[in-house]
Amino acid sequence: MTDQIKYLLCLADNALILGHRNSEWCGHGPVLEQDIALTNISLDLIGQARNFYQYAASLSGADHNEDTLAYHRDSHEFLNTLLVEQPNGDWGVTILRQFLVSNYQYYLYQQLQHNSDVTLAAIAAKAIKEVTYHLRWSSEWVIRLGDGTTESNQRMQQALHLLWPFTYELLQPADYETGYIDVTKIKQLWQDKTNEILAEATLSIPNNSQPFIGGKTGAHSEHLTAILNEMQSLPRAYPNTIW
Amino acid sequence: MVNSATIQEQKVWDVLANITDPEIPVLSILDLGIVRKVNIYNNSITVTITPTYSGCPAMDVIGSSIKMELLALGFIKVEVASVLSPAWTTDWMSKAGKEKLKAYGIAPPSNKPQVCSLELFAPNEAIQCPQCNSYHTHRISEFGSTACKALYKCDACKEVFDYFKCY
Ligand SMILES: [Zn+2]
């Protein structure tokens, strides 16, 4: 598999798995409006994933299409970060994760929209319009909940302790990523924005956490297997079924 | 080319003007501005469309409607191609489309072109209530019944309404 295809799969898998995780909230959100907001974000993410999969499939030969890539790969073949496959936890964990990832995607797609690969650039230029809404929405909620009641503040602080070790992987490029982006620049922008929002949310960043890394090279937690068992069950039980 | 079998391009556009967005059935795909190009060669045609949002679930339905209608018009081969660049924007929505949206009860995207900004807790844009025309409205949620809409409430007539937000 070429680095280009691996890179596209990494982008696609991150979007698909986070989209799937968020969709688990459908019908369970704390209030209707925010339930709808999160499921709309899911839809955007799954749409972005489709664009990356379609492009990856077009490069990887006749046997592949977006569905084979999403539904017929096993856990070790997925290249998403460990962060997106973590369980949703409470609403605070889900919101905080959305902020951490949207913040990353925002600066990532800003760079990729100027990439010399015109197809990749077009997908990124489209995605950034959607991600801007995701980042604004999740930033506002991190601040509301962090700088909210005693309980909401405590829960957000717990969420930050839980998720922070997974953020290192977002900012540490795999071999196949380095040709595409200026990681140092993205890292700086991501850190500045994260510090700004978390400070406004009166949350403190843990200072002694050990990085959890491995998803981008296929070493996943057991949570991904559980997601895939559910997400892939229909196309695997009934191969070639169409909607 | 002079060929009795060749279908006039104008007829194609007339057909496309009657294909609607399944989620907002008052809007045609031309009102939405998602048809980018039509190429006719003898009895074959390629229609190039662009999605509104990356995950817009209406695109597959719209693609098959285009195929069905153009086959019915007499084309032997109909292809629907999709392009992402340049990315669709609400600025491409026609004036007629915006009026139809308002009559349907959805506040149309604001006329002044605006880029979605990252400014947090910004004061709401002044969105006009499609029912009573009051500007005394406020946003309930950034996301509405579909990804392309936000949910607003009118403080004058108390009606809740969708706003087709800028993109
Ligand atoms: Zn009103």
What is the predicted pLDDT for the residue at B8?
Answer: 86
Answer whether residue A60 is part of any domain.
yes
Q: What is the pLDDT of residues A69-122, one digit of tens each?
A: 999 999 999 999 999 999 999 999 999 999 999 999 999 999 999 999 999 999
pLDDT level of residue B4 (50, 70, 90 thresholds): very low
Cβ-contact A165, A211 below 8 angstroms: yes
Is the confidence at residue B125, as pLDDT, over 80?
no
A109 neighbors A127 (Cβ within 8 angstroms): yes
Residue A243, in any domain of the structure: no
pLDDT (tens digit per residue) in A158-173: 999 999 999 999 999 9
The answer to whether A130 contacts B147, with C-beta atoms less than 8 Å apart, is yes
Distance CA B163, CA B144 (A): 8
In B, which residues are within 8 Å of A125 by CB distance? 84-87
Q: Which domain holds residue A60?
A: 3-203+213-237
pLDDT at B1: 46
Report the CATH number that the domain containing residue A12 is assigned in CATH: 1.20.1260.10
Q: What is the pLDDT of residue B114?
A: 57
* Nearest residue to B144 (alpha-carbon basis) of A129, A43, A89: A43
Give distance in angstroms: CA of A128 to centre of ligand 1. 33
Using alpha carbons, select from A86, A110, A115 the residue that is nearest to residue A98: A86
Measure Cα distances from A11 to A16, A81, A88, A204 in Å. 9, 10, 20, 29
Q: What is the mean pLDDT of residues B66-86?
A: 96
Considering only the beta carbons, identify the residue of A33, A47, A126 that sits closest to B87.
A126
pLDDT less than 50: residues of chain A: none
Mention every residue, 6+ apart, whose C-beta is less than 8 A from residue A151. Answer: none
φ, ψ (nearest 5 deg) of residue A181: -135, 155
Does residue A84 lie within any of the structural domains?
yes
* Residue B2 confidence (pLDDT): 45
CATH of B4-91, one of 2.60.40.2470, 3.30.70.100, 3.30.300.130, 3.40.1190.20: 3.30.300.130
The stretch B147-153 carries a mean pLDDT of: 90
pLDDT, position A208: 79
Cα A154 from Cα A162, distance rounded (Å): 12
B90-104 pLDDT, tens digit per residue, is 999 999 999 999 999
Chain B interface residues (partner A, CB cutoff 8 A)? 51, 53-57, 83-88, 116-121, 140-147, 151, 167
Give the pLDDT confidence score for residue B113 in this predicted structure. Answer: 52
- Residue A242 is assigned to a structural domain of this protein: no
Asked if A137 lies within 8 A of B121 by C-beta distance, the reply is no
Please state the domain count of chain A. 1
- Cα–Cα distance for residue pair B93/B165, rounded to 1 Å: 12
- The Cα diameter of chain B in Å comes to 61
Write down the pLDDT at residue B6. Answer: 61
Residues of chain A with a CB closer than 8 angstroms to some CB in chain B: 33-34, 36-37, 40-41, 43-48, 50-51, 118-119, 121-123, 125-127, 129-130, 132-133, 135-137, 139-140, 143
Provide the shortest C-alpha distance from residue B59 to chain A (in Å): 11
Q: How far is the CA of B26 from the centre of ligand 1 (A)?
A: 21
d(CA B167, CA B147): 10
Segment (H or E) for B162: strand B160-164
Q: Is residue A44 part of a domain?
A: yes
